[in-house]
Amino acid sequence: MKLGSLVEGGRDGTLVVLDRTLTRAVPATGIASTLQAALENWTEVEEPLRKLSEALDGDGVTGALRVDDLEMASPLPRSHQFLDGSGYLDHMRKARAARGAEMPPNWETEPLMYQGLSDRFLKARDEMVIPDEELGLDYEAEIAVVLDDVPMGTPVEQAGAHIKLFVLLNDYTLRTLTQTELPKGFGFLQAKPTSGFALAAVTPDELGSRWDGERVHLRVRTSRNGSIVGEPDSGTGMYFTYPQFIAHAARTRDLAAGTILGAGAVSNEGAESGHGCLAEVRIWETSTYGAVRTPWLRHGDVLEMEAFSDGESVFGPLEHRITAMNKTGEPAGERR
């Protein structure tokens, strides 16, 4: 089952069920008005949502809408909580080496995690506004999970049952600001602006054997201005698992339904499959050529991201245009 949200309906949007090809949609009228409401009542709404999904895929729904004619929001236009971990140790090593930081002493036994901005997410097709190119805008291609209510103290063995949806996440980072913000010892704030998500949130069964209960094996492709930067496998090199991340986050608190939890930038060892962020590209260039050749994202750049299973798009494409901010705080160009 694939779910999405329309922009209309307020800050939480309007829930729609999407067909498997992501070309048609039908509002979940009478079942749940928003995806957040669905997650809060998942036990009651899952079956009717699945029946609607099956009817849509079987051409049994009249009045289905063309997705291309709709203004789609992020699957969750906002959430109660957004947590992001660092599950790929290869990325952690490279990112820390780039800023001259050592690995933490417990890096092999305890996941690294931060709490990010969640009051507004970028749509799949949107503008990413930054005031200054010198802030070093980078993307991080990630697969994240969306949870139902997770009780405090949930063990790893039970944590996976709370995963209701998977989403494709573009976690932006301002690399220049990490150099000054992280040494203060109080975590990310300015260095982590808003994030964005691809069109669809999908249930675990949609992934088939690509989801093994711990990791998801998808090809996550990113392109900059039409040129592919990387297409690493999201299951390869993932040291900490999704259940481990969930149990870690829930150690001292309940996690509310609708919590989004990312696993960090997808990163495979070596350069054969490319890279899931520009920081790794620049590190590879320095070691290979002796100097950085690739700049951070610039105003006017178009970033594309998409995850594939056997050649088919799982979540739909994500396309963000990097845009300057004018003096009023609005995008300098027209928002699409």
pLDDT digits (tens, 9 = 90+) for 52-66: 999 999 988 988 999
Q: Do 105 and 187 fall within a single domain?
A: yes
The conformational region for residue 105 under phi > 0 = left, psi -120 to 50 = alpha, else beta, is alpha
Asked, for residue 75, whether it belongs to a domain, the answer is no
Q: In the 8-state DSSP scheme, what is residue 290?
A: S
Asked, for residue 107, whether it belongs to a domain, the answer is yes
Q: What is the pLDDT of residue 334?
A: 47
Asked, for residue 74, whether it belongs to a domain, the answer is no
CATH at 135: 3.90.850.10
Residues listed for the chain: 336
Mean pLDDT of 26-34: 98
Asked, for residue 259, whether it belongs to a domain, the answer is yes
- Tens digit of each residue's pLDDT (9 = 90 or more) over 62-96: 889 999 999 999 999 999 999 999 999 877 777 66
pLDDT-derived band at 109 (thresholds 50, 70, 90) equals confident
Percentage above 90 pLDDT, the chain: 81
Contact 156, 270 (CB under 8 A): no
- Tens digit of each residue's pLDDT (9 = 90 or more) over 150-196: 999 999 999 999 999 999 999 999 999 998 888 888 878 899 999 99
Q: Do 104 and 193 fall within a single domain?
A: yes
pLDDT-derived band at 329 (thresholds 50, 70, 90) equals low
Of the two residues 97 and 130, the one the predictor is more confident about is: 130
Count of domains in the chain? 2
Return the residue matching tokens 């990112």. Answer: 95
Chosen domain end from 69, 102, 121: 69
Which residues contact residue 27 at a Cβ distance below 8 angstroms, ignoring those fewer than 6 apart? Answer: 6, 14, 15, 16, 17
Asked, for residue 150, whether it belongs to a domain, the answer is yes
Q: Do 315 and 248 fall within a single domain?
A: yes
Q: Do 191 and 313 fall within a single domain?
A: yes
Q: What is the pLDDT of residue 328?
A: 62
Q: Do 54 and 120 fall within a single domain?
A: no
- Tens digit of each residue's pLDDT (9 = 90 or more) over 209-254: 999 999 999 999 999 999 999 999 999 999 999 999 999 999 999 9
Chosen domain end from 18, 36, 69: 69
Chosen domain end from 69, 94, 120: 69
Of the two residues 248 and 109, the one the predictor is more confident about is: 248
Mean pLDDT of 34-46: 99
Asked, for residue 332, whether it belongs to a domain, the answer is no
Q: pTM for this structure?
A: 0.94
Q: Do 215 and 317 fall within a single domain?
A: yes
- Contacts of residues 182-191 at CB distance under 8 Å and 24 or more positions apart, as own/partner, are 182/99, 182/101, 187/114, 187/115, 188/114, 188/116
Q: Do 185 and 310 fall within a single domain?
A: yes
Query: Cα–Cα distance between 148 and 278 in angstroms, integer?
Result: 33
Q: Do 151 and 284 fall within a single domain?
A: yes
Number of neighbours of residue 179 by Cβ within 10 angstroms = 15
Q: Do 58 and 196 fall within a single domain?
A: no
Mean pLDDT of 255-278: 92
Q: In the 8-state DSSP scheme, what is residue 330?
A: S
Q: Is the pLDDT of residue 312 over 80?
A: yes
Q: What is the pLDDT of residue 187?
A: 79
pLDDT-derived band at 106 (thresholds 50, 70, 90) equals confident
Query: Cα–Cα distance between 175 and 95 in angstroms, integer?
Result: 10
Longest dimension (CA), the chain: 60
pLDDT-derived band at 336 (thresholds 50, 70, 90) equals very low
Residue 211 to residues 18, 125, 140, 206, 218, Cα–Cα distance (Å): 20, 27, 21, 9, 9
Q: Do 230 and 312 fall within a single domain?
A: yes
Asked, for residue 331, whether it belongs to a domain, the answer is no
Q: Do 23 and 153 fall within a single domain?
A: no
- Alpha helices by DSSP H, listed for 19-70, are 35-40, 42-57
Domain boundaries, position 318? 82-324
Q: Do 38 and 95 fall within a single domain?
A: no
Of the two residues 287 and 29, the one the predictor is more confident about is: 29
Asked, for residue 13, whether it belongs to a domain, the answer is yes
Q: In the 8-state DSSP scheme, what is residue 139?
A: -
- Tens digit of each residue's pLDDT (9 = 90 or more) over 279-293: 999 999 998 999 999
Residue 135 to residues 24, 25, 165, 175, 190, Cα–Cα distance (Å): 39, 39, 33, 7, 10
Contact 259, 248 (CB under 8 A): no
Of the two residues 184 and 98, the one the predictor is more confident about is: 184
Q: What is the pLDDT of residue 55?
A: 97
Kind and range of the H or E element at 288?
helix 278-289
